[in-house]
Amino acid sequence: MAGDDDEYVYDEATGEWRPASEIAAAAQASADVRDASGTVLKDGDSVTLIKDLKVKGAGQTLKQGTVIRSIRLTDNPEEIDCRYDTIKGLVLRTEFVRKR
């Protein structure tokens, strides 16, 4: 339970006054970038593809099981920025990757 000295903020979604720390924690949890299995991803993580993906503009297919190292998070929680061999500026959807 929140402490007595905690600020309360009106939550328009629920129509209730809630502790500011509780609302901040909920916002942080929803902002986390998660892979296909729900694991939280961070900058620098390595991921594995769970499906064959055709790369538009590169004329190449990345096979299931391909390891992508050193990912970077983007402003969109459903996409990650990465580099693979000769493909620069590769953006993958998080629904197609799993953290290693």
Question: With the CA atoms of 56, 93, 53 and 91 taken in that order, what torsion angle do they form, in degrees rounded to the nearest 10?
Answer: 40
Q: What is the largest CA-CA distance in the chain?
A: 60
pLDDT given for residue 10 in this prediction: 87
The structural domains of the chain, ordered by start, are 1-31 (no CATH), 47-99 (2.30.30.40)
pLDDT given for residue 57 in this prediction: 83
Least confident of 5-9, 13-17, 59-63: 5-9
* Residue 3 in this model has a pLDDT that exceeds 80: no
pLDDT given for residue 5 in this prediction: 61
* Contact indicator for 54, 40 with CB cutoff of 8 Å: no
Summarize pLDDT for 18-71 with one digit per residue, the tens: 888 887 777 766 678 999 999 999 999 999 999 999 988 888 899 999 999 999
Q: What is the DSSP string of 35-87?
A: -TTSPBP-TT--EEESS-EEETTTTEEEPTT-EE-S-EE-SSTTEEEEEETTE
